[in-house]
Amino acid sequence: MPAAGPIRAVRESVSGLPRDFWWLWTSTLVNRLGAFVATFMALYLTLDRGYSASYAGLVASLHGLGGVVSSLAGGVLADRLGRRPTLLVAQTATAASVALLGFMSHPVAIAAVAFLVGAASNASRPAVQAMIADIVRPEDRVRAFSLNYWAINLGFAVSSAGAGFIAEFSYLAGFLIEAAMTLACAVVVFVKLPESRPAPKESVVDEAPVSLGTVLRDGRFMSVVGLSFLVALIFQQGFVGLPVAMGQAGFTPADYGMAVAVNGVLIVVLQIPVTRFIEHRDPRRLLIVSSLLAGYGFGLTAFAGSVGVFALTVCVWTLAEVVNAPTQTGLVVRLSPVRGRGRYQGMYSMSWAVAALVAPLMSGFVIDRFGAAWLWGMCAVVGTVAGLGYLVLMRRLPAQGAREQTVAGSPMAAERAVDAV
């Protein structure tokens, strides 16, 4: 294939997006370049501190519990106060709590600060997703979410490969580096990103006020949230169950870092071409396929006995991730009213936070009581259930941008609609 072909594909994939999106993308990239703690928390607690897999699961679950609380709170704040102030508060608090966590030694203190880290870090997620929906045209949103996810994994690929070696030298250095990088993200947001929340001076004609009760009464959307939870439960095992299982099998932190770095590297390589393939395809089919790939990708881990085979299983569930992440996030926007984007994204983010709460407890219990092979078999079953769920529920979706058309008579008016609730 001539070199001009891939270059043209990349140019078409990144063209036409607003400058504010690229500053938000840069903030995301910087954040993920320093994302060491979540990746190596299980190894830090079990290998460095000598705690059991069950205690590591408990700490990770408290981290997830903080995310459950802050996902909804972050969504409400993004709608009420605005996307920018929510991002600034969340990122500053994350930097402070991550640095503090590195100095904790008592098990109760570690658990308490892990809860604070989870609460602070997850509060920014609804604001980021709502801001992308605000500033990007409906027809470009799947591409924008995909590129944002690409930034997440470009940073993750770099940080995972390096963090394994940093952990062997000093876990504290990893905590402090992540704190510094997160603070740098807050600086980028403060200096370069204007507020994107729909302007309060515009009136809304046809769209009713949105509250958390509105979100909870939206049956189809809440069903999608439930399915998202199942898929997230599977993906969490790459950062909770997998490192513990590899550690118990005699592999080092660097071994795990190299295996899981394949995830980030493949997403960096595949995200743009896959996005071009899925951008205008039926999201139901994409979500069914990605659910099955995720479940059986982790299921294959039961047969892994070397770093190379572990890396091959990572390749399978990585393909599921490449398809699922932008499709799912774009679907949330598609099902959300304009003035409730923060709340809807917060509820969707909560499905991942609840998975972060449940998955460590589940994996720690299963590994300690039955062995890792049972955990990987459960992942295959959960992936199958999620795929069947999408098959049944995802029918007659609203057209892309349909929600905007119902507000003040035009998409542009909808983009400026007020959230006064």
Q: How would residue 401 be classed by pLDDT, with cut points 50, 70 and 90? A: low
pLDDT at residue number 6:
57
Q: What burial class does residue 291 get, using C-beta atoms within 10 Å of its C-beta: 0-12 exposed, 13-18 middle, 19+ buried?
A: buried
Per-residue pLDDT, 418: 30
* pLDDT for 291: 94
Q: What is the pLDDT of residue 408?
A: 37
- The neighbour count for residue 318, using CB atoms within 10 Å, is 26
Q: Would you tell me which CATH number, out of the four given (3.10.450.50, 1.10.357.10, 1.20.1250.20, 3.10.150.10), belongs to the domain 18-397+408-415?
A: 1.20.1250.20
Length of the chain: 421
**Cβ contacts of 170 within 8 Å, gap of 6 or more:** none
User: Could you tell me if 142 and 279 are in contact, meaning their C-beta atoms sit under 8 angstroms apart?
Assistant: yes
**Once rounded to an integer, what is the mean pLDDT over residues 339-350?**
87
Q: With 50 as the cut, is the pLDDT of residue 144 above it?
A: yes
Nearest to 364 by CA among 353, 352, 374, 351: 374
CB 33, CB 155: distance < 8 Å: yes
Between 154 and 126, whose confidence is greater? 126
Least confident segment among 33-42, 75-84, 98-107, 337-346: 33-42
Q: What is the mean pLDDT of residues 111-124?
A: 87
pLDDT (tens digit, 9 = 90+) per residue, 60-79?
778 878 878 888 888 888 88
Q: Enter the pTM of the model.
A: 0.75
Of the listed ranges 263-267, 351-355, 395-399, the one predicted with least confidence: 395-399
Confidence label for 400 from pLDDT (cuts 50, 70 and 90): low
The confidence band for 10, taking pLDDT boundaries of 50, 70 and 90, is low
Contact 140, 17 (CB under 8 A): yes
pLDDT score recorded for residue 406: 42
Residue of 110, 45, 64, 54 whose CA lies nearest to 363 = 54
What amino acid is encoded at 272 in this protein?
A: I
Beta-carbon contacts of 194 under 8 Å, excluding residues fewer than 6 positions away, are 20, 84
**Mean pLDDT value across residues 93-117:** 89
Write down the mean pLDDT value for the chain.
Answer: 80
Flag the least confident range among 118-132, 134-148, 246-260: 246-260
Query: What whole-number percentage of the chain has pLDDT above 70?
Result: 85
Q: By C-alpha distance, which of 352, 361, 369, 370 is closest to 59?
A: 361
pLDDT band at 138 (very low <50, low <70, confident <90, very high): confident
Full 3-state SS string of the chain: CCCHHHHHHHHHHHCCCCHHHHHHHHHHHHHHHCCCHHHHHHHHHHHHCCCCHHHHHHHHHHHHHHHHHHHHHHHHHHHHCCHHHHHHHHHHHHHHHHHHHCCCCCHHHHHHHHHHHHHHHHCCHHHHHHHHHHHCCHHHHHHHHHHHHHHHHHHHHHHHHHHHHHHHHCHHHHHHHHHHHHHHHHHHHHHHCCCCCCCCCCCCCCCCCCCHHHHHHCHHHHHHHHHHHHHHHHHHHHCCHHHHHHHHCCCCHHHHHHHHHHHHHHHHHHHHHHHHHHCCCCHHHHHHHHHHHHHHHHHHHHHCCCHHHHHHHHHHHHHHHHHHHHHHHHHHHHHCCHHHHHHHHHHHHHHHHHHHHHHHHHHHHHHHHCCHHHHHHHHHHHHHHHHHHHHHHCCCCCCCCHHHHCCCCCHHHHHCCCCCC
Question: Between these two residues, 6 and 131, which has the higher pLDDT value?
Answer: 131
Q: Which residue has the tokens 């009213």?
A: 337
Distance between CA atoms of residues 364 and 204, nearest Å:
49
pLDDT of residue 167: 72
Residue with tokens 């892990």: 114
